[in-house]
Amino acid sequence: MAQLRIALAQVNPTVGDLEGNLRIVVDSARQARDRGAHLLALPEMVVTGYPVEDLALRNSFVSASIKALHRLAAELAAQGLGDLPAVVGFLSRREGPGARYGQPAGAPQNAVAVLHEGAVVVTSAKHHLPNYGVFDEFRNFVPGDTFPVVRVRGVDVGIAVCEDLWQEGGPVTAARAAGVGLLLSLNGSPYERHKDDVRLELCQRRAREVGAALAYVNMVGGQDELVFEGDSLVVDAEGELVARAPQFTEALLVADLDLPAGDDAGRNPGTGPRTDAVPHTDEVVDGLTIVRRTVSTAPVEPYTPDENVVTPRPDPLSDVGEVYRALVTGLRDYVTKNGFASVLVAISGGIDSALTATIAVDAVGADRVHGVLLPSEYSSGHSITDAEELARRQGFAARTIAIAPVVEAFEAATAKAGAALDGLSAENLQARVRGTVVMALSNQEGHLVLATGNKSEAATGYSTLYGDSVGGFAPIKDCWKTLVWELSRWRNAEAVREGAVPPIPENSIEKPPSAELRPDQLDTDSLPDYALLDSVLDAYIGTDKGEAELIFAGYDPELVRRVIRLVDRAEYKRRQSAPGTKISARNLGRDRRLPITNRWTV
């Protein structure tokens, strides 16, 4: 057996910031060197950030990524870090034949490279391209057809990229056939609820299938609607957890491993005879050519290993706590990476705006959060006092701009033109005046406006287009209303546990929700009870169950038809909504794409 200390750099790159991302890699290499690592790995496409979407189709961007990779190799050597092999993801292109029918022009590839002593030792590309949910990789990339195996300190290390681990066959089969001692997986795997449990089980299963230890490095941070949670980990050949990084924070996970040394027959001595071993030269397994390169053959001198970090989270996050951290991370990086100095939230005293403001304070600090109260003639006294109390508890600035005079001016103008407003038109006018005011403040003062709508409202269209739906980012867009309450109670409980004042007034959580656009209005006047509504919505949107399936599942037929009608009619509104952090397996953005003009209703 051979000893090997590996370092997994769980970092937060920014799409398009090649120079900034290169600095991240160099800094990570320096930390890994200081920790005595023999091999460093960074996430999928760390050089360019991920996902790059249609930037991959720009020849200039692909060329810049390739040049940046070679600059990175030279810079690592110049900084005295060249002797540490570094495995990095980058954007490349397929060499060889020209354009092929059905493939993106320019043949871009989601690639990986091994850097050592100022040179690029080997490159390869992701083989399995995901094309479901938020992924469009068949649109942006062409698949790779090689599986790289690099000998480092006498250990054969196979390299796969993200989806290559999630899919059967391909790189997983090649890794077993190649007899690797360690399978290294570079990932840009977005957060979803409960995914950390699925991820660990997957890594354990793959390690047992390959018969080798497995190291999984994932990026962290927000990119538009996506959040990456990190949760990098290492398991041994039996699938036992060796080390694991924290969620939602940058970290360098270092693990000491005892691994079988490679031999020239493509087998690992000590693992017994391998009937599936293949020749050393021009190995082709499951459509992939196994490409072997050598960085170093001499094993590491025996040393006393550090204690591997199996549970770096002494107080693991609960399910709701994970979601909250994801929402904070998504908003923080959207604000920071897009250069906004501050955010603006219209606080009504209700639970949605209260949670949105709380997430904002936790994400960017109270001094960068600005609240505005926009009471109308129908706003209750407790709504105003609850909003004021929210700002006081959290220490952010808030001002009041009464909208009644503006609404009256609009109503007088339309009445004079023979178009007096009443009913829903009058209600929507109030919301649109509020939307106009917050966007005017945004333009004047440079704030990013945060839309406060939740997933239940977006699904059913229970919002006013160009009114309460306005904003540049929607932090709770992927949260059902029932989850909004859960998150609010969790955040208050965390404050109590830490000896702090709960940030959200209890009245905002407990009172019945209301848009307050007419006297004594409640959400239940227009919608079913949220617990029941969210259950139907989650089945219809989350699993694509149709009318018959929902009724068969026990839901009231009239309720099912009503909810389906609301959801389908609101598609045009959702197309115009702000982006928001994805936390579910099926959000109302890139995960679910339906035609607006659509007569299919069952």
Q: Residues for the chain: how many in total? A: 602
Q: 507 by DSSP, 3-state: which?
A: helix
CA atoms of 568 and 598, how far apart (whole Å) = 8
543: its two tokens: 């699993």
Instruction: Outline where DSSP puts E strands in 348-492.
Output: 369-373, 397-400, 448-449
Q: How many CA atoms lie within 13 A of 141 on its CB side?
A: 24
126 is a catalytic site residue: yes
- Identify whether 51 is preceded by a cis peptide bond (ω within 30 of 0): yes
Whether 502 contacts 490, CB under 8 Å: no
41: its two tokens: 């790995």
Bridge-based pairing state of the strands 213-218 and 233-235: antiparallel
Distances in Å between the Cα of 228 and the Cα atoms of 51, 214, 248, 391 are 11, 20, 7, 30
Of residues 75, 137, 162, 203, which has the active-site annotation?
162
558 is a catalytic site residue: no
Of residues 67, 75, 95, 126, which has the active-site annotation?
126
Indicate the residue type of 566: L
**All residues at 6 or more sequence positions from 503 whose CB lies less than 8 Å from its CB, including other chains:** 358, 361, 390, 393, 394, 491, 492, 495
329: its two tokens: 């991370």
CA atoms of 104 and 67, how far apart (whole Å) = 21
Q: Give the DSSP letter string of 578-596.
A: PP----SSS-SSTT----S
CA atoms of 263 and 283, how far apart (whole Å) = 15
Whether 10 contacts 245, CB under 8 Å: yes
Interior angle at CA 99, CA 94 and CA 102, nearest 5: 100
573 is a catalytic site residue: no
550: its two tokens: 């929902």
Count of CB atoms within 10 A of residue 317's CB?
Answer: 17
Interior angle at CA 405, CA 402 and CA 411, nearest 5: 130
Tokens 């996506």 appear where?
A: 226
Of residues 44, 75, 192, 516, which has the active-site annotation?
44
CA atoms of 44 and 47, how far apart (whole Å) = 8
| Residue 64 burial class via C-beta count within 10 angstroms: exposed 0-12, middle 13-18, buried 19 and up | middle
Count of CB atoms within 10 A of residue 488's CB?
Answer: 23
Whether 184 contacts 87, CB under 8 Å: yes
Residues labelled catalytic: 44, 126, 162
